[in-house]
Amino acid sequence: MKSNLFKDVSANENNPKWSQMIKREKELYSKKGDIRSCFERDFNRILHTNAYNRLKHKTQVFYSPENDHICTRIEHVNYVESISYTISNYLGLNSELTRAIACGHDVGHGPFGHKGEKILSEISKRELGKTFWHEQNGLHIVDDIELLDDYEGNKQNLCLTYAVRDGIISHCGEIDEKSLKPREEAIDLNNYERPNQYPPYTWEGCIVKISDKISYLGRDIEDAIEEKFLDDETLNELQEITKSKDKTSNTSLINSFVTDICENSSPEVGLRLSDEMLEKMDKIKAFNYKYIYGSKRMNPSNKYFELVINQIFDILKESYKGKDTQNEILKNSKYYPNLFNNFSNWINKYWNIGDRKGLKNKILFDLNNEKDYVQAIIYYISGMTDKYAIDIYNEIIHF
């Protein structure tokens, strides 16, 4: 049975924020008789992108390509979508909007999970003087990088609604001490300077933000057990935290957190957990940081990821020769065909040279600006899957 407590603040035509929520950068092409809502179209557009499809081959926490049962980034996205649907549906909010935000919320992640994000940020700070963070990169991906064919076969940008774009860049962070409520003002999303700078613009965005945290806590523990990160003594400590003698499972934790949020939330107090469940969530998160994310067993693979990403970046950057960059890329394609042919095909869609037949997307890069070229490399690497990055690295080091 639904509570529908949030029905009056849902993302719908009666909401005073509605016109801003559904605003797009430009009018989206459409066919006569399309039966989908604006948020359903956004969900479909994200679902058909390469960035979304590549998530199945990107690390969530554990780099374990030989184990089919370790959570990947796309499984995490599916968990967030499921959790946010359950909460929004029960509370009377717009589940089509939460679905679209959840689908796209992690498309900005690079290869190798949060370690890959940290490495790319270090490169970005050194080369461009700014940090790289996956929420902002996700906005760039859906705004600028991902292209779909229109009904005439021309490639165009996704052109998503403001509410979905906002949900993607605003999904970072934790539930505050008591509750989470949306902000009132509509801001220029390109003015975000750091993760978690603003709360989401919609209640639905707030739900995805909370669901993101709920989704990973138990699953990361299950994967840690599978990978033998946690011994009996450590698991006993976890049982003390959860106050359960049973095995801690992802499904049981998700159910308890979701039920608690639905029972304790209202438009007046915001989306919130009970004090007891918030304390449990914080303790489980601290446990995960101590025994999983901060484990010394992560160090060898992290060092390898650092080597892989930096080597790819360095060899691409060395190819910048101003107006002769295209020729340099062509020359290097003889030695590293996978890297330079694919990079050339990719960047040709976005810079201000060459034939743009069939391209109706934004021009992003000026060939005469080296910083534009560096930014292009960072975008390109962020789109790589774990396997592709390693394959490229192996191509570089082999003669």
Whether residue 246 has pLDDT greater than 60: no
pLDDT at 175: 61
pLDDT at 346: 97
pLDDT at 172: 85
Give me the CATH number covering residue 236. Answer: 1.10.3210.10
Where does the pLDDT of residue 248 fall: very low under 50, low under 70, confident under 90, or very high at 90 and above? low
Q: Is residue 113 part of a domain?
A: no
Question: Do 285 and 171 lie in a common domain?
Answer: yes
Instruction: Report pLDDT digits (tens) over 274-319.
Output: 999 999 999 999 999 999 999 999 999 999 999 999 999 999 999 9
Question: Do 325 and 306 lie in a common domain?
Answer: yes
Question: Do 277 and 155 lie in a common domain?
Answer: yes
Residue 5 backbone phi and psi in degrees, to 5: -60, -25
Q: Is residue 116 part of a domain?
A: no
Question: Do 277 and 159 lie in a common domain?
Answer: yes
Look at residues 262, 294, 326 and tell me which one is the last residue of a structural domain.
Answer: 294
Count the Cβ atoms, other than its own, within 10 Å of residue 188.
6
Q: Is residue 255 part of a domain?
A: yes
Where does the pLDDT of residue 390 fall: very low under 50, low under 70, confident under 90, or very high at 90 and above? very high
pLDDT at 311: 98
Question: Do 252 and 306 lie in a common domain?
Answer: no
Look at residues 256, 273, 294 and tell me which one is the last residue of a structural domain.
Answer: 294
Name which residue leads in pLDDT, 13 or 174: 13
Question: Do 248 and 328 lie in a common domain?
Answer: no
Lowest mean pLDDT among 129-138, 258-267, 334-343, 350-359: 350-359
Instruction: Tell me the CA distances in angstroms from 166 to 19, 23, 160, one per residue in order.
Output: 14, 11, 10
Lowest mean pLDDT among 88-97, 159-168, 187-196, 349-358: 349-358
Gap between the Cα atoms of 315 and 351, Å rounded = 20
Where does the pLDDT of residue 250 fall: very low under 50, low under 70, confident under 90, or very high at 90 and above? confident
pLDDT at 41: 97
Q: Is residue 173 part of a domain?
A: yes
**Which of 180, 33, 163 lies closest to 105 in space, CA to CA?**
163
Task: Print the domain residue range for 207.
Answer: 7-107+146-294
pLDDT at 79: 96
Instruction: Report pLDDT digits (tens) over 287-298.
Output: 999 999 999 999
Instruction: Report pLDDT digits (tens) over 58-93.
Output: 999 999 888 899 999 999 999 999 999 999 999 999
Instruction: Report pLDDT digits (tens) over 347-357.
Output: 999 998 878 89
Whether residue 245 has pLDDT greater than 70: no
pLDDT at 249: 77
Q: Is residue 199 part of a domain?
A: yes
Q: Is residue 132 part of a domain?
A: no
Where does the pLDDT of residue 171 fall: very low under 50, low under 70, confident under 90, or very high at 90 and above? very high
Look at residues 294, 319, 348 and tell me which one is the last residue of a structural domain.
Answer: 294
pLDDT at 173: 66
Whether residue 51 has pLDDT greater than 70: yes
Tokens of 333: 């394609």
Q: What does pTM read for this prediction?
A: 0.96
Question: Do 196 and 92 lie in a common domain?
Answer: yes
Where does the pLDDT of residue 29 fall: very low under 50, low under 70, confident under 90, or very high at 90 and above? confident
Whether residue 35 has pLDDT greater than 60: yes
Question: Do 365 and 255 lie in a common domain?
Answer: no
Q: What percent of the chain has pLDDT over 70?
A: 97
Tell me the mean pLDDT in the region 126-138. 98
Q: Is residue 316 part of a domain?
A: yes
Where does the pLDDT of residue 107 fall: very low under 50, low under 70, confident under 90, or very high at 90 and above? very high
Question: Do 311 and 392 lie in a common domain?
Answer: yes
Name which residue leads in pLDDT, 34 or 369: 369
Tell me the mean pLDDT in the region 379-398. 97
Question: Do 173 and 279 lie in a common domain?
Answer: yes
**Which of 44, 58, 68, 65 lies closest to 106 in space, CA to CA?**
58
147-149/155-157 β-pairing: antiparallel
Q: Based on the structure, what is the number of domains in the chain?
A: 2
Q: Is residue 289 part of a domain?
A: yes
Question: Do 205 and 157 lie in a common domain?
Answer: yes
As a whole number, the mean pLDDT across the chain is 94
Geometric angle at alpha carbon 256, from 254 and 262, rounded to 5°? 100
Tell me the mean pLDDT in the region 128-132. 98
Gap between the Cα atoms of 112 and 134, Å rounded = 12
Where does the pLDDT of residue 174 fall: very low under 50, low under 70, confident under 90, or very high at 90 and above? low
Question: Do 265 and 156 lie in a common domain?
Answer: yes
Q: What percent of the chain has pLDDT over 90?
A: 86
